[in-house]
Amino acid sequence: MCFIAGGFSARAQRTIAISTKNTSMILSVDKSGSLDFQAYGKRIERAGVFDAFVPNDDHHLNMRVPAYTTRGGDYIGAPALSVMHADGGMNTELRYVSHETVKGEGVEKTTIILHDTMQPLEVRLVYVAYQDEDVIESHSEIVNLGKKEIVLTDYFSSSVMLNASRYLLTRFWGSWAHEFQVERVQLSHGVTSIEDYCGVRTTHKSNPSFVLSLDASEFSETSGEVVAGALKWSGNYKIDFYRDETGRLQIRSGINPMSSEWHLSKGETFVTPDMVYTFSANGAGQASRNLHDWARRFGLYDAAAVAPTLLNSWEGAYFAFDTKTLTDMMDDAASIGLEMFVLDDGWFANGEFARNSDKSGLGDWQLNTSKIPEGISYLADYAHAKGLKFGIWIEPEMVNPKSGLYQKHPDWVVNEPGRDIIPLRNQYLLDLSNPAVQDFVFGVFDSVMQMGDIDYIKWDCNRHVLNMGSSFQKHQSHFYTAYTLGLYNVLARVREKYPKVMIQSCSSGGGRVDYGVLQYTNEVWTSDDTDAAVRTQMQYGFSLIYPSMVMGSHISAVPNHQTHLSTSIKYRTDIASSGRLGVELQPKQMTADEKKVVMRAVDGYKSFRDIIYQGDLYRLQSPYDGPDTANLYVSKDKKRAVLFVYHTEYVLKGFMPQIRLQGLQDGASYKVTELNCTKSVFWGNGKSFDSDYLQSFGMNLKLRDTYSSAVFLLEMDNQ
């Protein structure tokens, strides 16, 4: 099929509607066979109207937008796909060949096949529409149909086009121990990017996700059109927002093309990672709930599993422990009512390489017999005898130069021959793009699992790529992408062999928080900053994209080890209780009162955690907008709810925050009970209130001290 010059005015010939219950993404094929992007937003019932669509035909403007933009053809925006063809040609013009939609339970998958007009190249665009969740996932599959190698220079997952008068972008910035800080910008003309090129540990500085409020100058939880997105990829990413001269916005998202040209041999296919989109006509709150629902039903590994409350040894013991330190901690964990003990860093390597600090030992995954002569199985059995599950920390992608592994396999380290290897936290990165290293990393997991009856693995990753280079890769430009594919290959093998073990994705705290890794892991370690004062904002940001059920949040000691700030044990407990609750301190250093507060909270948490994990989150008040943060989780049947209120600033003498609830059953009444307290801050504690009172007027609370908090359980009357 050949391209008709001046095809801007070509009429649409065939419409392909990718729809969910309330949203539609409309694509159409014009006379020339070009597959164009028409719209994404509220559901369009009779999408066939696009069959007769006549676009603006002024060819000075870039009005027609391919569904998958390419370098070549008539579109001059950002190409999702740029190919260097075997004959040196640099242009790609895709034309529709066929499409099919397959329906599953609550899911419709549409695959559209496109071919280049001249080169032996096929592109398959895959859209999966999750009906009830209003989520559409999209990726591309690029197939070399020719006899010679081609090179992909840009191979983004997807491109969509929005049309609004203005675009308010909510994005995340941060660093180690300061993840998920929220920033809002009005998009100007030209390109705004969210990207990372650290290779691994890619989500400290930003996150491959966003919330976009359309036609809005203010962010709203409850009104206005919103598109939110997240990329399922744990390596370098790039999400470009290109506001063109007509005011429309192209979003191009996928693997960051920086230094990542991909050589595709004859017959090979490259499958890009999925980009997840949702659209809400009712503000950002609904967009987050859509993503959370989708994640729980389709996006997360084993979202039905209940997370045990835990004691993690890191901030309580660091590297200094022996068997008795650990068994004492387990005794304390059990007496507090916790359900798991996690042995963190420091349990492995011997002799000169013993892991007594971060300077040595990584790579030598043998038990440190001076610290724990009795063995891991002894600790695991001890935990189980106490009624606790047992978890253990590994960091299998890393090696210290001071280790037996490095002496044996210096060739496995990421570097460029001739250049110094730059250490980070005294360690080097293993080249996971190399299948031999993948086998080793899988072997670390596998052999640690054999050391005892292990229920949980904390998989850490404490550095990023500097001086990229692989002794395995023929094309160095494959390294970044192949590393992440190597990681997923290992995780897939792990899951095949160990479907039930719980895995936490940790990377110096929140350096690997994305929906790519969450296909294999049950949770993430949100941040190494456990300060409740800081977590108020961080957890707010996190919740915009990710559900609380994957958010590790621990009660730690004061002064906080990162910020040196002190908050009350109640405040720390109430913050940690809105995620996957854990404790990370030396219980022996707790006062009897502190222990009591934590025990009471752990007990209460067990009774409502199902609401936090599986319910709907309403962010009632944002930490960015005033002295109070309030989050309400409502069970799907609306019969129960948990309200968290955090007062983070002194306001005025006598000031009482007034919190208006959302999401309750109209016409119902709820009994309100304050938890985690001896004296309630609510005058109506223990009484029942109609939902219209709670939602229209709200609860006025005697929360006056900086960093004071309250937790309430709401139960529908007469159920």
Question: What's the closest the beta carbon of residue 358 comes to ligand DGJ, in angstroms?
Answer: 6
Give whichever of 192 and 508 is closer to ligand DGJ, judged by the CB atom: 508
Q: How many CA atoms lie within 13 A of 413 on its CB side?
A: 26
Is there a catalytic annotation at residue 460?
A: yes
Give whichever of 142 and 524 is closer to ligand DGJ, judged by the CB atom: 524
Piece of the chain touching ligand DGJ by CB under 6 A; list 141-149, 501-509, 638-646, 683-691? 501-509
- Which of 314, 440, 488, 712 touches ligand DGJ (CB under 6 A)? 314
Question: What's the closest the beta carbon of residue 494 comes to ligand DGJ, in angstroms?
Answer: 19
The residue annotated as part of the active site, out of 528, 574, 616, 628, is 528
Query: By beta-carbon distance, which residue lies closest to ligand DGJ?
Result: 345
- CA distances in angstroms from 671 to 184, 640, 688, 699, listed in the order given: 38, 9, 4, 13
User: 500 phi and psi, to 5 degrees?
Assistant: -100, -20
Piece of the chain touching ligand DGJ by CB under 6 A; list 15-23, 506-514, 553-561, 635-643? 506-514
Give whichever of 283 and 509 is closer to ligand DGJ, judged by the CB atom: 509
β-pairing, 398-399 with 428-429? antiparallel
Piece of the chain touching ligand DGJ by CB under 6 A; list 408-416, 427-435, 503-511, 652-660? 503-511
Is there a catalytic annotation at residue 57?
A: no
Is residue 176 close enough to count as binding ligand DGJ by CB under 6 A? no
- Which of 221, 339, 528, 616 touches ligand DGJ (CB under 6 A)? 528
The residue annotated as part of the active site, out of 460, 514, 531, 574, is 460
β-pairing, 580-584 with 551-556? parallel
Inter-residue contact 210 to 233 (CB < 8 Å): no
β-pairing, 669-675 with 708-716? antiparallel
Is residue 179 close enough to count as binding ligand DGJ by CB under 6 A? no
**Peptide bond between residue 559 and the one before it cis (omega within 30 degrees of 0):** yes
Is residue 361 close enough to count as binding ligand DGJ by CB under 6 A? no
Number of H helices, E strands in the chain: 11, 37
Is residue 531 close enough to count as binding ligand DGJ by CB under 6 A? no
Question: What's the closest the beta carbon of residue 415 comes to ligand DGJ, in angstroms?
Answer: 22
What are the structure tokens assigned to 590, written together? 């707790």
Is residue 345 close enough to count as binding ligand DGJ by CB under 6 A? yes
Please tell me the distance from the alpha carbon of residue 435 to that of residue 438, in angstroms, as a whole number: 5
Is residue 208 close enough to count as binding ligand DGJ by CB under 6 A? no
- Angle at alpha carbon of residue 9, lines to 7 and 10, rounded to 5°: 65
Is residue 154 close enough to count as binding ligand DGJ by CB under 6 A? no
Inter-residue contact 502 to 595 (CB < 8 Å): no
Please tell me the distance from the alpha carbon of residue 76 to that of residue 87, in angstroms, as a whole number: 23
Question: What's the closest the beta carbon of residue 403 comes to ligand DGJ, in angstroms?
Answer: 15
Is residue 393 close enough to count as binding ligand DGJ by CB under 6 A? yes
- Which of 344, 397, 531, 628 touches ligand DGJ (CB under 6 A)? 344
Please tell me the distance from the alpha carbon of residue 98 to that of residue 79, in angstroms, as a whole number: 22
* Structural element, H or E, at residue 164: none
- CA distances in angstroms from 170 to 79, 243, 458, 633, listed in the order given: 24, 16, 30, 22
Is residue 348 close enough to count as binding ligand DGJ by CB under 6 A? no
Is residue 397 close enough to count as binding ligand DGJ by CB under 6 A? no
Active site residues: 460, 528
In the complex, the residues that contact ligand DGJ under the rule CB under 6 A are 314, 344-345, 393, 460, 462, 506, 508-509, 525, 528
